[in-house]
Amino acid sequence: MKKEAGRWLILVLLLLLSASGAEAGAAGRLGFPYIQNYTKQQYKAGNQNWSVTRSPDGVMYYGNSTGLLAYDGNNWQLYQMPHKLIVRAVAADANGRVYAGGFGEMGYWSHDEEGLFRYTSLVGLVPPQHRPADEIWKIYVDGDNVYFQSFTSIFRYQHGKMTVVKASNPFLFLHQAGGRYFAEVISEGLYELRGDSLHFVPGSQQLGSSGILSILPFSEGRILIGTAKNGLFLFDGQQFTPWQNEANEFLKTYQLNNGTLLDGSYYAFGTILNGVVVLDEDGKLVHRLNKSNGLQNNTVLNLFADAAQNLWVGLDNGVDRVEINSPLYFYFDKVGDFGTVYSSIIHGNKIYLGTNQGLYYSNWSPGTPNAAQHLNFRMIENSQGQVWELTVIDGEILCGHNEGTFRVEGSALVKISDVKGGWTIKKLQSDPTVLIQGTYTGLAVYRKGKAGHWAFSHMVSGFGEPGKHVEQDQSGHIWVSHAYKGLYRLALSPDLRQVTDSRSFDESHGLPGSYNVNISRLFNRLLFSTGSGFYHYNEASGRFIPYKELNGKLGPMATSKRVLPATGKKHWFINHGKVALADMSNPQQPRINTSQFSILDGRMVQEYESISKISDTIYLISMDDGFVIYNSEARAQPSMALPSVLIRRVENTAGKQQVLSETGRYRRVLELPYSQNNVRLSYALPYFKQAQVEFQYKLEGYAAEWSPWSDATQKEFTNLGQGEYSFRVRARINGEAVTEATVYRFVVLPPWYATWWAYTLYAVLAAVLLWLGRRLYFRKLQRDQQRIQQRLEQEKQEQLRQEAILHEQKLVKIRNEQLKSELSNKSRELASTALNIVNKNELLQNISHEVNKLQDAEGNRLPERQLKKIQKIILDGMSPQTDWELFENSFNETNANYFKKLKEDYPELTPNDMKLCAYLRMNMSSKEIASLLNITVRGVELRRYRLRKKLNMDPDKNLVEFFMEI
């Protein structure tokens, strides 16, 4: 039995590993749903991805050859198993546990109480004799039961206990179909697992021995069984019936390896050699996906459909995500066969692509659901060069080409104009029998020829500017958009041969710019746009006015540069690479669909966007590397609630970086020490469709306002203060739908000096300090009282001293007043003395004169001897020395040290000079001085003159004032 099991194990491994490089063989070039590739360079783990599952929070997990791989929509994370085992099987339960299995190992990953993602082994619950010694290939979660399957045993884990189920021969794989479990026992057939026992399914030998690799629920209670090389079978509980379908031979040839149910009615099967096929319930081929049209590898190790009906493909080299139910069907030119697509159209039984390399076509089967499945593009002969436009007018395909304009007839071209650069061509509004075309060198006119085909008529003279967009308004004027010079409005002659009036418009006429002004037609009126909103032309003012009514209702699409007609009142709006389909049936409330087309953002050729209508529900959208077919009637995916933003990592960045938590669903509030108050939070939105995802956050307790929207997926906060914080983060998809805010709470603990024990210590210290303070206070109070007593005593002594000083000052004042009085008296006495001396001298002089006149009785003059005696007495009375001594004594009493200071300042002064100085200080007149000095007034003046010279005085200086100032 062991040898048989070994043989099957080797066979399975060879099937899984040997054909990873196989090519598609007979499969042709196919269109396909959008496929997103995740390469090993992106997820940085092993090539092989053996299994896929999704946890309730939306995170995807993959059993990878180097461990458990997790993807949250933004970042990849690898968790390694014990001994770095390969993870062959993964499954997630409703509680967030992720079960994993490898060689001799099975267990689960979960977030512990600290929020870290850790592994718990369950091998220890298995009795030693039954512990696995081979690979765990399948894991299924069913309520509180978890099934692990190896080639030798099935292990059922429930409520912390492990039950082992064995068979007589090795198992191949365990399969779940609805609530039932089936396992193939090698060399015996199919068994159903019920509880802990196996029950043989009669007739299962009919399935052959190539291996049962897929069992899925089917309609009407049946089961769909897929075998490796014998095709698909239906089992109704009684018998097995081969299921005839369009992929049966394909699956037999390329070896079916696994399968999954999609959206309840589609079945996806992965193969060893040629990728994935998708069938509907009728057995019709819906999709065929392989390496040639999007998958990274043809060997499919696992398939998984998530709640949003994304098909996850685990490959022998990488992981792919397929948007199966998208209304957009892609065809990429991955090898550059036909270049950049500028225009595309489906007409008759062919699809045409106008590219920068030429015109290509492929056969097309109208009405066939899988018409885009088999396309083989070939270049039409002689079409090399730039194709600008493809359009159907009156049943004819017209091709605007760099080398002219052509009529397309099947797979051939017929030139109808040599005018270079046919940018745009359309019927005149005023005359549907005439076409007008914008070219490199002006306007071309076309009319129907004799054979009923459109034919070139003439070029319009009088206008030679290139016309990228051409439209006719209701008044008959032709509007032409120049790539760099704004707009032209032309009036043509009745025969349309020449321009009779031309007017140009630019920023000076109200346009927001002159570069690439686009002309569109909406509501049967012309609209003009440059990416700054729509404008319309006001004939009365001759200016362009913003179309506020329309701009306000279009929201973000108001800045669209192009408007293309769709069906009825539906229009395509193209806004800087973004595409929207707007239903304008109610102009007041237009319905704008952008979410379905977000995957096309930036993929169309800028300024040359092309969307062709195939039917009222199907459109062909040109892209820079291919095209997309949009079916507006494709079954819409069920609306699902947006996933919540996940907190994926909380790190401490203070000092050495440390992971604190790997989930926002923390069982207890995270507490950060104050010394580690720098925190970084990483977040993600598990939204896996192509969309622009932006995030917005705020930290309550730190900031009150939400941050601006950004595509950043982490935020770091530094130097947070102590307290409680709530980090709120939400996501916005394609600028529209906004998720509910996810809240993560954490606490920054206070610093050691603000903890309760610190406050207790503070209280004790405060009490001790209070007691010490009280003691010190009383001691200080005593010292203060002593100081106050001393101060009072000092103040008393000071007061007595001040009183003594005041008393003394009063005495001094009295003495000063007395001295002033005495000085005044002395001054008066001095003046009186001087006056008396003068008067005395004058009297004596008068007496001397009178004595000289004395006569005797006889009238004779007295004898000379007697007169001399009298004159001597008079002269002695008038002696200057005597007068000066008297004056000097009085003068010194009132002007102490005056002569001393005068002598020090002017040592050259004589005693007579000193006398004159004293008399001048007394402000005495020359006559009085002459009397005192017993000289003439003339002699006084002479002395005054000499004194001035000795003193070197200015002639203008008053001599009396000078001596009074000394």
Per-residue pLDDT of 864-893, as tens digits, reads: 777 777 777 777 666 666 667 667 767 776
Mean pLDDT of 373-392: 89
Dmax over CA atoms of the chain, in Å, equals: 210
Query: Cα-atom radius of gyration of the chain, to the nearest Å?
Result: 59
Residue 868: CB atoms within 10 Å: 12
Crossing angle for the helix pair 898-905 and 911-921, nearest 10 degrees? 120
> What does the DSSP 8-state code read for residue 461?
B
- Residue-wise pLDDT for 146-160, tens only, equals 999 999 999 999 999
- Angle (CA) 188-193-195 rounded to 5° is 145
For residue range 407-434, what is the model confidence (pLDDT) as tens digits? 999 999 999 999 999 999 999 999 999 9
Angstrom CA distances, 187 to 1, 168, 191, 210, stand at 10, 10, 12, 10
Residue 831 confidence class, pLDDT cut points 50, 70, 90: low
**How far is the C-alpha of 363 from the C-alpha of 671, rounded, in Å?**
67
pLDDT digit string (tens) for 715-767? Answer: 999 999 999 999 999 999 888 789 999 999 999 999 988 888 888 998 999 99
pLDDT value of position 5? 42
Amino acid 14: pLDDT: 37
Lowest mean pLDDT among 177-191, 489-503, 597-611: 597-611
Q: What is the pLDDT of residue 718?
A: 93
At 375 the pLDDT is: 77
Show the CA angle centred on residue 652, arms to residues 649 and 653, nearest 5°: 115
Q: How many CA atoms lie within 13 A of 463 on its CB side?
A: 33
Which amino acid makes up residue 212? I
**Which run of H or E residues covers position 416?**
strand 412-417
Q: Are 960 and 920 in contact (CB under 8 A)?
A: yes
Residue at 257: amino acid letter: N
Provide the β-strand partners of residue 536. 545
Q: Is the pLDDT of residue 10 over 60?
A: no
- Six token digits for residue 762: 């503070």
Taking Cα atoms as reference points, which of 490, 560, 504 lies closest to residue 532? 560
Average pLDDT over residues 843-863: 72
**Separation between Cα atoms, residue 449 and residue 394, nearest integer Å:** 13
CA-based nearest residue to 393, from 451, 447, 470, 468? 447
Question: What angle do helix axes 756-853 and 880-894 make, rounded to 10 degrees?
Answer: 160
Q: In the structure encoding, which two tokens stand for residue 486, read together?
A: 């704004």
φ and ψ of 276, to 5 deg: -125, 145
Query: In 3D, which of 482, 529, 483, 491 has the Cα closest to residue 510?
Result: 529
Q: How confident is the model at residue 15 (pLDDT cuts 50, 70, 90)?
A: very low
For the beta carbon of residue 782, count every other beta carbon within 10 angstroms. Answer: 10
Q: What would the pLDDT profile of 899-910 be if each residue is shown by its tens digit?
A: 778 788 888 888
Q: Which residue has the tokens 């090399």?
A: 384
Whose tokens are 């006001």? That residue is 538
Contact between residue 180 and residue 192 where contact means Cβ atoms under 8 Å apart: yes
pLDDT attached to residue 617: 84
Strand 742-748 and strand 670-672: pairing? parallel
| Across 224-238, 629-643, 765-779, least confident range | 629-643
Which range of 702-716, 795-809, 873-887, 890-904 scores highest in mean pLDDT? It is 702-716
The rounded percent of the chain whose pLDDT value lies above 90 is 52
Helix (H, G, I), strand (E, B) or coil at 620: strand
Asked whether the predicted pLDDT for residue 9 surpasses 50, the reply is no
pLDDT of residue 588: 85
pTM exceeding the 0.95 threshold for the entire prediction: no
Vertex 348: Cα angle to 343 and 350 (nearest 5): 55
Say which range, 462-466, 605-609, 687-691, 842-846, has the weakest mean pLDDT: 842-846
